[in-house]
Amino acid sequence: MNHWIDHLATLGARFHPDSPTQVEDFGHVLGTAALEQGFVAAVTDLGLIAVAGEDAAGFLHNQLTNDVEHLGTAEARLAGYCTPKGRLQATFLMWRDADAVYLQLPRAIQPPLQKRLTMFVLRSKARLRDATDEARNAAVLGLGGAAAGDALRTQVGALPEAPYAKIDGAFGTVIRLADAFGHPRYLWLTSADDGVKALSALRATLALGGNAAWQLAAVHAGVPQIGQATQEQFVPQMINYELLGGVNFKKGCYPGQEIVARSQYLGKLKRRMTLATLADAAARPGDEVYSVADPDQPSGMIVNVAPNGAGGADALVEIKLAALDGDVRHGSAGGTKLDFLPLPYPLDALDA
């Protein structure tokens, strides 16, 4: 294990048996109250693709759902990568510096996605590499809640002031993400040594969590992440991706663009993603949900889910809008009931 991962083990982190670089949690699950008050999470299940070269932005601009050519160095954006049928193969947090454009995505799907993107470089002057374990990105910390801003400021100084703003410095890279529980979330990428020192200091005032805590915060922010179980299941609008700024309808073509545009402008959307809580902590992404009023066919699918500290799980669920007012169950019409919660943003179209 590298220095960062080795240090997490000394803190009592529990590792996946099939991947010693993936930390599930620290032997306990953080609940929503802890996330709202303030937490720091060691994030180890996300990978990073760097795309460098003079054509890097142009190449990605022609592949992804968002504008890459006009992406500034002081901002980050969400972006999706679709099949020709408009179904999402991956979702990314995307940013750039003077040297490269970076795409953050789950480690589990990074190798095949990176290979697939590389196939389409052709004559473009762009090179893709795995930047996950590069020195300046070796440690990834996620922070959120009421106390997180002040705690992080003691480590890095000034913070990004708006969602999806980014700052860089000797401390690494800090990106402010969409709020959860009414408070900012921050993603901090830094060196292993600085990450070790910072985590030791931050845990004095913030609740300590791992991937599960970070995923729970993302669920309550209403920001989806495509993983292995949900690849090629959703057109972007089905998981609210255009509401979050992840689709630019004014840019040029990309794989699936015609279908994504048609979904936006022709007819009314009949499926969306919402937030739900359920008593079944065994729920997983890709699980289907069923309306009791229509038990013979699934009404939707779990996109992301995380344990909620109360014995159950909270989830982002893609679902038929017509089913939202009824009784919806996990796995079958006789399964665990889903209770729907309000998202932190309205399900109305934003000016794209």
The domain that holds 101 is classified in CATH as 3.30.70.1400
| Confidence band, pLDDT 50/70/90 cuts, at residue 347 | confident
Distance from C-alpha of 281 to C-alpha of 301, rounded to nearest angstrom: 16
How large is the average pLDDT for residues 49-68? 97
Task: Give the pLDDT confidence of 234-261 residue by residue, as tens digits.
Answer: 999 999 999 999 999 998 899 999 999 9
With contact defined as beta carbons under 8 Å apart, do 311 and 303 qualify? no
Whole-angstrom distance, CA of residue 344 vs CA of residue 243: 12
Identify whether 207 is part of a domain.
Answer: no
**DSSP three-state, residue 257:** helix
Residue 351: pLDDT over 60? no
| pLDDT score, position 14 | 79
Average pLDDT, rounded, for the chain: 94
- Cβ-contact 210, 199 below 8 angstroms: no
Percent of the chain whose pLDDT exceeds 70:
97
Residue found by looking up tokens 């840019």 in the block: 251
The domain of 117 spans 47-128
In a domain, 18, yes or no: no
Per the structure, how many domains does the chain have? 2
Whole-number pLDDT of residue 345? 95
pLDDT for 225 equals 98
pLDDT (average), residues 282-299: 97
Predicted pLDDT at 18? 73
pLDDT category of residue 6 using cuts at 50, 70 and 90 = confident
Confidence category of residue 29, pLDDT binned at 50, 70, 90:
confident
Among candidate residues 102, 128, 154, the one where a domain is terminated: 128
Q: What is the CATH number of the domain that holds 277?
A: 2.40.30
Q: 175 in a domain, yes or no?
A: no
Q: Residue 241 falls within a domain, yes or no?
A: no
Mean pLDDT, rounded, for 41-46: 96
Asked whether residue 295 is assigned to any structural domain, the reply reads yes
Last residue in a domain, options 101, 128, 155: 128
Could you give the C-alpha distances from 342 to 185, 304, 315, in angstroms and in order? 19, 16, 12
pLDDT at 208: 95
Spatial neighbors of 135 by CB under 8 A, at least 6 apart, are 191, 192
Q: Supply 58's token pair.
A: 């142009």
Q: Examine the fold and report which residue of 128, 158, 173 is the final residue of a domain before the chain moves on.
A: 128
Report pLDDT digits (tens) over 178-209: 999 999 999 999 999 999 999 999 999 999 99
pLDDT, position 352: 29
Residues 101, 70 contacting (CB under 8 angstroms): no
Specify which residues 286 forms β-bridges with: none
CB atoms within 10 A of CB 339: 12
Residues 52-65, mean pLDDT to the nearest whole number:
97
Query: What DSSP designation does 30 have?
Result: -
d(CA 139, CA 190): 5
How much is the pLDDT for 317? 98
Q: 164: which 2 tokens?
A: 């999806």
